[in-house]
Chains A and B, each alone.
Chain A
Amino acid sequence: MNPGGQTAEQANSASPTGPARPRPPEPPRVTVELASYSYAPEGGASLFTLEATSFDVRSRELLAILGRNGSGKSTLLRLLSGTLPPLSGRVQLEGFEVNRLDLRTRAQRIAMVQQETPLLFPVRVWDFVMQGRHPYSRGLRFETEEDGAVVRHALYEAGADSLRTRWMHKLSGGEKQRAVLARALAQQPMLLLLDEPTLHLDIAAQVDLLRRLRRIANESGYAIVVVTHELNLAAEFADRIVLLDRGKTLRVGKPVEVYEQELLQQVFGTLLHVEHTARGTPKVTFSGKETE
């Protein structure tokens, strides 16, 4: 299985509704051009606005979107996933507007990992991850040999190999997150989106997840976008940061470029201290005691 998880046939074919999968080294590119969004109840003033923003995401890149609650992180993520149409500008994946793709194609290109995964009835991890193959088959979608191979690989990449026969509702938070990641990877996407994936995890699981994302981005060529408000994790693992503040994109760049003390203090509204370590990765610390 080559990077990007495609077979030779898939690499050379082009579907009429979406981008063909090129062979590397041309990296898939997500471009956000002046995309904005606004939500307003009927007749009322606009409740929330995401101002026009532009950036891009390359393959093998881990991009982190940072900001406070309500700054528009999740909205931006949904613009990237194509579920929300931008009010202005556009969001493109390999030249095709994500919002205009049909559902099936979109699911083959973009995978999303949400904060919570509700489970109604007991399901085994294997079957759960197999759901990621849904966009590739028709009818009753009985699993094929190829599906099995893809799922096995996805489980491996997500570090959920040992969980294969377990029941989803009996997993710990971290294990469940890995299974959900595996399902997303089973979609063989170009773009992997994660909405605050570390929210309910303990420290070890958080670090493990980010480390894994970093690795699969490097090895398999995914473009990954993570929404988070974990400043230090983002600084440690992300290639670039998009910093949002109340709908405005304040800065896009490498962590060392974005993590300016006054800027972060203004955005997060609290006193903090930014250290630049020898490795080049900035570190944010908070004072525990009350200062002036």
Chain B
Amino acid sequence: MRPLTLRKLLLTCAALAGVLLLMVFFSLKFGTRSISMFDLASLLYHSAMGQSDQVSSDFRLIVLDIRWPRILLAMIVGASLSVAGASFQALLRNPLADPYVLGVSSGAALGSILSLIWFAELPGATPFGAFAGAVAATAAVYFLGRRGGDLDSYALLLGGIITASFLSALIMFLMTTISGRELRGMAFWLMGDLSTPSPVAPGWLFLVLVVGVGAIYTTAADLNLLLGGEQEAMHLGVDVVRVKLVVYLGASVLTGLAVSVSGAIGYVGLIVPHLVRLLFGSDYRLLIPATALGGAIAVVLADTLARTLVAPTQLPVGAMTALVGAPVFIYLLRRRMA
């Protein structure tokens, strides 16, 4: 019986971080033009040493200006979605919950469509509109889910599902009225697409990620108890009302962050937490950092495949995660039933 200790936590995270680093390295290597390991290593070395004149500008352009920002985005999105998914699974006490079940992504999609219609000329309108839409949906579902100052899981779930379908209907209505050219871009975004560099500096995105995950992590021990029922958790001294609110807000912010950057990439928030649980157990003190790293690994892998499988054509990342995610999900389901 090996209980969770700080040492085990740090070791697991270090191992996962190592896998992530490896994944990033290979992702930098592969693309439309494959770069040999040696060239890549020397490129990174020279850049780090500040000797960028030693490096061909072609390599630099491709690896540092095109691939690296994209990989960075993939990591941030992957970590956000996975932690959000794991959090919603605890909050709603439902293993089928994913980041989109409470309508946050529909709100983001609506926000981005509206900003396309009204503010098409402003650069970066789409991501900000998406985030605003996500925040609005979060607030709406919060008020729907409130019962006397506390968030009720069932009311939350119902409110979220209703909000999601209502917003989807609105989106469909709008999509038939806006003209064709915006529509094409929109379809790609709705599927999940990392090829568009974000207008927001990655540093800010990373900050939001850290704040969101950090806030949720403060309740990690409480979440373990919450899984066993709210009454039980309360009798064990958990401030259930506060914990639910923090987790709800944190997970919604993380989802909004991910969706506004890359559109709705599916399956990551649902599957990665379960895979991590399979490997490392359900203790949220370990689950949260491990899913963050696991999600980053998953999306970087999916994105690398998306842009190399049928190069030069690029598949949307969401298609990749669905193609891999659905069979994995079926496998997990059957395992559970067995």
Among B5, B222, B234, B236, residue most surrounded by chain A Cβ atoms (within 10 Å): B236
Which of the residues B4, B95, B239, B285 comes within 8 Å of A120, measured between beta carbons? B95
Among B3, B93, B220, B283, residue most surrounded by chain A Cβ atoms (within 10 Å): B3
A122 to B227, CA, bound (A): 11
B282 interfacial contact with A, CB 8 Å:
yes
B232 interfacial contact with A, CB 8 Å:
yes
**Complex contacts, B234 vs chain A, CB 8 Å:** 83, 103
**Complex contacts, B283 vs chain A, CB 8 Å:** 127
A263 interfacial contact with B, CB 8 Å:
no
When the two chains form their complex, are residues A132 and B236 in contact, meaning their CB atoms are under 8 A apart?
yes
Give the nearest-CB partner of B231 in chain A.
A114
Which residues of chain A from 106 to 160 have a CB within 8 Å of any chain B CB?
Answer: 106-108, 110-112, 114, 117-124, 126-128, 130-132, 134-135, 139-143
When the two chains form their complex, are residues B285 and A140 in contact, meaning their CB atoms are under 8 A apart?
yes
A135 to B238, CA, bound (A): 8
Interface size (B, Cβ < 8 Å)?
27
Tell me, rounded to whole Å, the shortest Cβ–Cβ distance linking B248 to chain A.
17
Which of the residues A108, A119, A187 comes within 8 Å of B228, measured between beta carbons? A119
A165 interfacial contact with B, CB 8 Å:
yes
Which of the residues B3, B93, B221, B236 comes within 8 Å of A140, measured between beta carbons? B221
Given A118-B228, A134-B238, A140 contacting B220 (CB threshold 8 A): yes
A260 to B238, CA, bound (A): 43
A164 interfacial contact with B, CB 8 Å:
yes
When the two chains form their complex, are residues A117 and B232 in contact, meaning their CB atoms are under 8 A apart?
yes
The digit string for B210-242, where 1 denotes a CB below 8 A from any CB of A, is 000000000011101101110110111111000
What's the count of A-B pairs with C-beta under 8 Å? 77
A81 interfacial contact with B, CB 8 Å:
yes
A104 interfacial contact with B, CB 8 Å:
yes
Interface size (A, Cβ < 8 Å)?
35
A245 to B283, CA, bound (A): 44
**Complex contacts, B235 vs chain A, CB 8 Å:** 81, 83, 107, 110-112
A120 to B224, CA, bound (A): 10
When the two chains form their complex, are residues A107 and B95 in contact, meaning their CB atoms are under 8 A apart?
no
Given A121-B95, A141-B221, A126 contacting B3 (CB threshold 8 A): yes
When the two chains form their complex, are residues A131 and B236 in contact, meaning their CB atoms are under 8 A apart?
yes
B60 interfacial contact with A, CB 8 Å:
no
B48 interfacial contact with A, CB 8 Å:
no
Which residues of chain B from 235 to 286 have a CB within 8 Å of any chain A CB?
Answer: 235-239, 277, 282-283, 285
When the two chains form their complex, are residues B227 and A134 in contact, meaning their CB atoms are under 8 A apart?
no
When the two chains form their complex, are residues B221 and A135 in contact, meaning their CB atoms are under 8 A apart?
no
**Complex contacts, A121 vs chain B, CB 8 Å:** 95, 227, 277, 282
A141 to B223, CA, bound (A): 12
Tell me, rounded to whole Å, the shortest Cβ–Cβ distance linking B240 to chain A.
9
The digit string for B84-127, where 1 denotes a CB below 8 A from any CB of A, is 00000000010100000000000000000000000000000000
**Complex contacts, A120 vs chain B, CB 8 Å:** 93, 95, 227-228
Across chains A and B, which 9 residue pairs bring their CB atoms closest together, nearest first?
Answer: A107-B237, A135-B237, A121-B282, A112-B235, A141-B221, A120-B227, A104-B237, A134-B236, A118-B229
List A residues at the B interface (Cβ < 8 Å): 81, 83, 103-104, 106-108, 110-112, 114, 117-124, 126-128, 130-132, 134-135, 139-143, 164-165, 187
List B residues at the A interface (Cβ < 8 Å): 1, 3-6, 93, 95, 220-222, 224-225, 227-229, 231-232, 234-239, 277, 282-283, 285
- Can you spell out 25 A-B residue pairs with CB atoms less than 8 angstroms apart? A83-B231, A83-B235, A103-B238, A104-B237, A106-B237, A110-B235, A112-B231, A114-B229, A114-B231, A117-B228, A117-B229, A120-B93, A120-B95, A120-B227, A121-B277, A121-B282, A131-B228, A134-B222, A134-B237, A140-B6, A141-B221, A141-B285, A142-B3, A142-B285, A187-B236
